[in-house]
Structure 1
């Protein structure tokens, strides 16, 4: 009597929708490859087909996630923001920082992140090609607006917690974000090296000056 062979379960995963962790890995790969493509060829000459090939995928898969080069570039920008974890800079553990300390922490955290080599390269790309591709300016403005909304909410929380009224937190948040951005762009365009000590000293002076007028906010 011959025995029937015992069937074993295949180690391969059945076809179907990919697991969330697989989706995350695929998207991370695309963003990593796309960033290298943009930095090597510039925004105008970057090619979606080349990105798909380098990532080991297909153009169909790439376009299903990012319908255009603009969408892909924006995804890179906001992935970098997420990696910076700006919200964490406004808190100490579970508790929010005080107004002055929180603004200094946020400014130092975001400037330190923005002064990293890959961030500088992306920002230079945006500024150098935005006159040809307005969508880069739109992405930059959206990035700025997210910072303004985040700081405006923090100022509102601080006003309520400290019982110090703030008539226009959005205007104060804009002044704060544009102050930081102006300092960063100056050093970016002049290609000057800034030490941690110099950055922290400037942040202290700038935030102290801004908070001095808090009663007029």
Structure 2
């Protein structure tokens, strides 16, 4: 998950705060790349130090051990990939089915990027060892989308377009059906084709709205 700019190297003298922060950002980006490439167990602090061009002593001054560096790198990546509220709100064009389909596509597209896929895999494989990353992944990604979808359903119910319902549970069911299944297939190395995604998203949205239609 590279994204850092050119390495920041300082000349003689004490680095500025901006330089120190930039070097730490570079360290986190480099460490994340290595963890995503090789897995937590395989990566060593020596590997990270060599790749980023720092001494181990300098790294330990910033992060007490490999576990704390891993957590800092992965949590930062999760935060950077989190969907801002504005991005979700921009999908709501008043068309209920269209909005739900757009939300599903956005979440699936996130995971289908190389960085999104590697991040999802490391959350899945290391979440048992570092529950913080699993919680952060849920709170910053899934929970935000669930809350947004629940709000969309609440507004639709208030207008009489769907029957009153437990919008939170309906939103969770929607995410599980339309996103969860696709994500599991993608992470397992069996990504659906764009045509399959469109068909499955459309079918699930129709199924949900048919179950919620006023009677």
- Structure-2-length-normalised TM-score: 0.68
Aligned match of 1:36:
33
Measure, in 2, the Cα distance between the counterparts of 1:152 and 1:145.
Answer: 10
Aligned match of 1:5:
none
For structure 2, the residue ranges without an aligned partner over 5 or more in a row are 1-10
- Residues 110 and 116, structure 2, Cα contact 8 Å, conserved in 1: yes
Aligned-residue Cα RMSD (Å) equals 3.5
Measure, in 1, the Cα distance between the counterparts of 2:62 and 2:209.
Answer: 43
Aligned match of 1:7:
none
CA drift of 1:202 comes to 1.8
Measure, in 1, the Cα distance between the counterparts of 2:140 and 2:45.
Answer: 27
- Residues 86 and 109, structure 1, Cα contact 8 Å, conserved in 2: no
Aligned match of 1:151:
145
1:111 aligns with one of 83, 108, 112: 108
1:140 aligns with one of 134, 137, 148: 134
Measure, in 1, the Cα distance between the counterparts of 2:27 and 2:131.
Answer: 23
Measure, in 1, the Cα distance between the counterparts of 2:202 and 2:149.
Answer: 18
Measure, in 2, the Cα distance between the counterparts of 1:166 and 1:16.
Answer: 59
CA drift of 1:18 comes to 0.8
- Residues 153 and 167, structure 2, Cα contact 8 Å, conserved in 1: no
CA drift of 1:205 comes to 1.9
Measure, in 2, the Cα distance between the counterparts of 1:107 and 1:36.
Answer: 27
CA drift of 1:215 comes to 5.8
- Residues 152 and 169, structure 1, Cα contact 8 Å, conserved in 2: no
CA drift of 1:66 comes to 4.2
CA drift of 1:143 comes to 0.9
CA drift of 1:33 comes to 1.1
- Residues 32 and 74, structure 2, Cα contact 8 Å, conserved in 1: no
CA shift in 2, pair 1:42/1:156, >3 Å = closer
Measure, in 1, the Cα distance between the counterparts of 2:100 and 2:38.
Answer: 37
CA drift of 1:156 comes to 4.6
Measure, in 2, the Cα distance between the counterparts of 1:210 and 1:78.
Answer: 33
Aligned residue pairs: how many?
197
For structure 1, the residue ranges without an aligned partner over 5 or more in a row are 1-11
Task: Give 3-state SS (helix, strand or coil) of 2:17's partner.
Answer: coil
Aligned match of 1:3:
none
The aligned runs of 1:1-217 (5 Å cut-off) are 15=14, 18-19=17-18, 22=19, 25-63=22-60, 65-84=62-81, 86-87=83-84, 88-92=86-90, 96-98=92-94, 99-127=96-124, 129-130=125-126, 134-136=128-130, 138-159=132-153, 161-162=155-156, 163=158, 168-179=166-177, 180-189=179-188, 191-214=189-212
Measure, in 2, the Cα distance between the counterparts of 1:167 and 1:13.
Answer: 65
